[in-house]
A and B are shown apart, each in its own frame.
Chain A
Amino acid sequence: NAGVMQNPRHLVRRRGQEARLRCSPMKGHSHVYWYRQLPEEGLKFMVYLQKENIIDESGMPKERFSAEFPKEGPSILRIQQVVRGDSAAYFCASSPIGTGGYGYTFGSGTRLTVV
């Protein structure tokens, strides 16, 4: 039973390009969460999704960032026109129910470097 799968593990983009980060939740988990970890900072919530629905996007920057979790396939975090400040580790987590009482399973993350 594979855990949360994120790819790519490392992504290098030039300023102005687009970055697409993928996350496949654990089998049986229908709730997906994205967090960002900036250098020397803690993990910050970005967005919470269920299949085909965005439940809470209060942590998403208003521009250039979007997320989806389609009926089929992985969840995608998309960053358009990347800037150097977007360089960070992006983690995806999943859970079987929409509450932390059960705990979350995190992926190994995607490390985005903008050059």
Chain B
Amino acid sequence: TQLLEQSPQFLSIQEGENLTVYCNSSSVFSSLQWYRQEPGEGPVLLVTVVTGGEVKKLKRLTFQFGDARKDSSLHITAAQPGDTGLYLCAGEGETSGSRLTFGEGTQLTVNP
């Protein structure tokens, strides 16, 4: 069974601070995706990374896929209250077909 461990589970910071969320596994993934979920809504795709060592930037968000394709990180620069939400990583296993394994999520709160 593939597992994805996200840390931290909860994060409360002040506006303007930087933060990093981690997603780790002992399994190799063919792709890894980051989603953001608002209360009462479905997850919304932020980014997909597929190549080991890949770095993608989305405005103030930087996503990195580990060289061995077992881990990933999400870094947010100068966080804003609008960044508040549940951040989820999800991996597609090399042998699990299209089945996504989700992490438990990181609940981020950015205080003004």
Task: Show the binding face of A for B, using Cβ within 8 Å.
Answer: 4, 6, 31, 33, 35, 41-45, 48, 55-56, 58-59, 91, 93, 95, 98-109
Contacts and interface: CB of A to CB of B under 8 A. Distances in A.
A111 B111 CA distance: 29
A95 B104 CA distance: 23
Contacts, number: 75
A43 B48 contact: no
B43 interface: yes
Given A100-B30, A101-B48, A101-B92, A106 B102 contact: no
Contact of B45 (A35, A41, A55, A105): A105
Contacts of A45: 99-101
Contacts of B90: 43, 100
A77 to B, nearest CB: 14
B45 A91 contact: no
Contacts of A93: 42
A103 B33 contact: yes
Contacts of A100: 30-31, 33, 48, 90, 92, 98, 100
Given A95-B98, A109-B41, 7 more contacts: A42-B102, A42-B104, A45-B100, A99-B92, A100-B90, A101-B50, A106-B35
Contacts of B104: 41-42
A42 B35 CA distance: 12
A101 B30 contact: yes
